[in-house]
Amino acid sequence: MTKENKKKDDQIKERSFGIVGVIWKKISVPLTSIFLALFIGGLIMAISGSDPFEAYGALFQSAFGDINGWGRTLEKATPLIFSGLAVTFAFKAGLFNIGTQGQLLMGAITSAYLGFAITGLPAIIHIPLALLGGALAGALFGSIPGLLKTRTGAHEVITTIMLNYVAINITDYLSNGPLKEVSSSDVVARTPPIEASAEIPQVAGLPLGFFIAIIFAVFVWWILEKTTLGFEIRTAGLSGTAAKYAGIKVTAIIVITMVISGALAGLGGAVETQGIVGRYQPGFNTGLGFDGITVALLGKVHPIGNIFSALLIGSMKAGGAKMQFVADVTPEITNVVQALMLFFVAADRVVRWIIRQRETDDEGLTLTTGWGN
């Protein structure tokens, strides 16, 4: 059979399964990946003497069992969507923003400051104002690696990592010094709580922040896919030289991308401050930015995919405590499961081989071709 015939054959087969077949083809690899990762994670639990069914049962129950569980899961997923979007956006331009953590921290503390320092505003103005402040702080912090890259050629992977540590120190200093909560009994380094008017409320037991995150995911998708800027970003990401020949100002695109990416990360921090923590406290946002890398990769570097991967990882964070309580399994096992999921999603050859599915042309996940100067 020639290759062309084979392709036709495939198309006929696909048609015969109808819409179900098409959907199955799209989600079979991710689903199988999740299943395989959970399976291996379960094996590790079983080897170390715990009951995986009990553990997963508790996790699932706690993350999705009732409205409170859903609330917890969405809460945990919200900042992850933002940091995932930040990483995704930069990836599209061929930039690897490992600095989401730092940008997120700057956003979180700025929105906390605007949240407690400004009083007497109605919520409808105060909430977006503090969010905007967080986004601006993240954008400002994100623009530094962008400018450094275009002006001096310093690679963003390194500058963003370094700036993460700088951000940790800046926020530590601020919450320990100028912005520290003044009270007689309190020796904890943290800012005062934000005003009630800056708090993002819950809607029917579910955090409103999550829905803001979804709006932003769609917005990012729209920018990337439907606007000239998005087209230029994606072109620059595919090939810098090609973009240059096409008349795209690549240096400007790099800076703009980093600014938007930083703004998204900053928003993640702001939403966390205004929706969950209620103030800035060092150590409360640890890992949220780094998890964005996993979220983005699991979501196949697609803005909408980010929502689902953030939900997945969020549910593990939400159910981890219960899992430890019921089945005495350390919640860190979910890290192992996440790594395995990432592996299987990226190594779709393996998964396709397991479920005997033929490779499609558009699949496969490639982000980088080297350090790409």
Asked if 330 touches other proteins (CB under 8 A), the answer is yes
In the bound state with other proteins, the residue whose beta carbon lies nearer, of 214 and 347, is 347
**CB-based contact 326:55 (threshold 8 Å):** yes
Interface region with other proteins, contact rule CB under 8 A, candidates 55-63, 107-115, 248-256, 344-352:
344-352
Asked if 355 touches other proteins (CB under 8 A), the answer is no
Size of the site for other proteins (CB under 8 A): 53
Asked if 370 touches other proteins (CB under 8 A), the answer is yes
What string of H, E and C letters represents the secondary structure of the chain? CCHHHHHHHHHHHHHHHHHHHHHHHHHHHHHHHHHHHHHHHHHHHHHCCCCHHHHHHHHHHHHHCCHHHHHHHHHHHHHHHHHHHHHHHHHHCCCCCCCHHHHHHHHHHHHHHHHHHCCCCCHHHHHHHHHHHHHHHHHHHHHHHHHHHHHHCCCHHHHHHHHHHHHHHHHHHHHHCCCCCCCCCCCCCCCCCCCHHHCCCEECCEEHHHHHHHHHHHHHHHHHHHCHHHHHHHHHHHCHHHHHHCCCCHHHHHHHHHHHHHHHHHHHHHHHHHHHHCCCCCCCCCCHHHHHHHHHHHCCCCHHHHHHHHHHHHHHHHHHHHHHHHHCCCCCHHHHHHHHHHHHHHCHHHHHHHCCCCCCCCCCCCCCCCCCC
For residues 89 to 118, the per-residue mask of contacts with other proteins, x marking binding by CB under 8 A and - elsewhere, is: -------x-x--------------------
294-to-39, 74, 148, 230 alpha-carbon distances in Å = 19, 17, 25, 23
Q: In angstroms, what is the minimal distance from the CB of 340 to other proteins?
A: 8
In the bound state with other proteins, the residue whose beta carbon lies nearer, of 138 and 292, is 292
What residues numbered 145-174 form the site for other proteins, per CB under 8 A?
Answer: 148, 151-155, 157-159, 161-166, 169-170, 172-173
**CB-based contact 336:52 (threshold 8 Å):** no
At 223, list the tokens: 């920018």
Asked if 367 touches other proteins (CB under 8 A), the answer is yes
In the bound state with other proteins, the residue whose beta carbon lies nearer, of 78 and 294, is 294
For residues 34 to 53, the per-residue mask of contacts with other proteins, x marking binding by CB under 8 A and - elsewhere, is: ----------x---x-----
Asked if 251 touches other proteins (CB under 8 A), the answer is no
In the bound state with other proteins, the residue whose beta carbon lies nearer, of 159 and 261, is 159
Q: Site for other proteins (CB under 8 A): which residue of 11, 68, 119, 176? A: 176
Asked if 321 touches other proteins (CB under 8 A), the answer is no
Asked if 257 touches other proteins (CB under 8 A), the answer is no
Q: Site for other proteins (CB under 8 A): which residue of 5, 184, 332, 361? A: 332
Asked if 252 touches other proteins (CB under 8 A), the answer is no
Asked if 371 touches other proteins (CB under 8 A), the answer is yes
Q: In angstroms, what is the minimal distance from the CB of 186 to other proteins?
A: 19
Provide the binding-site residues for other proteins, judged by CB under 8 A. Answer: 44, 48, 96, 98, 148, 151-155, 157-159, 161-166, 169-170, 172-173, 176-177, 293-294, 297, 330, 332-340, 342-343, 346-347, 349-350, 365-373
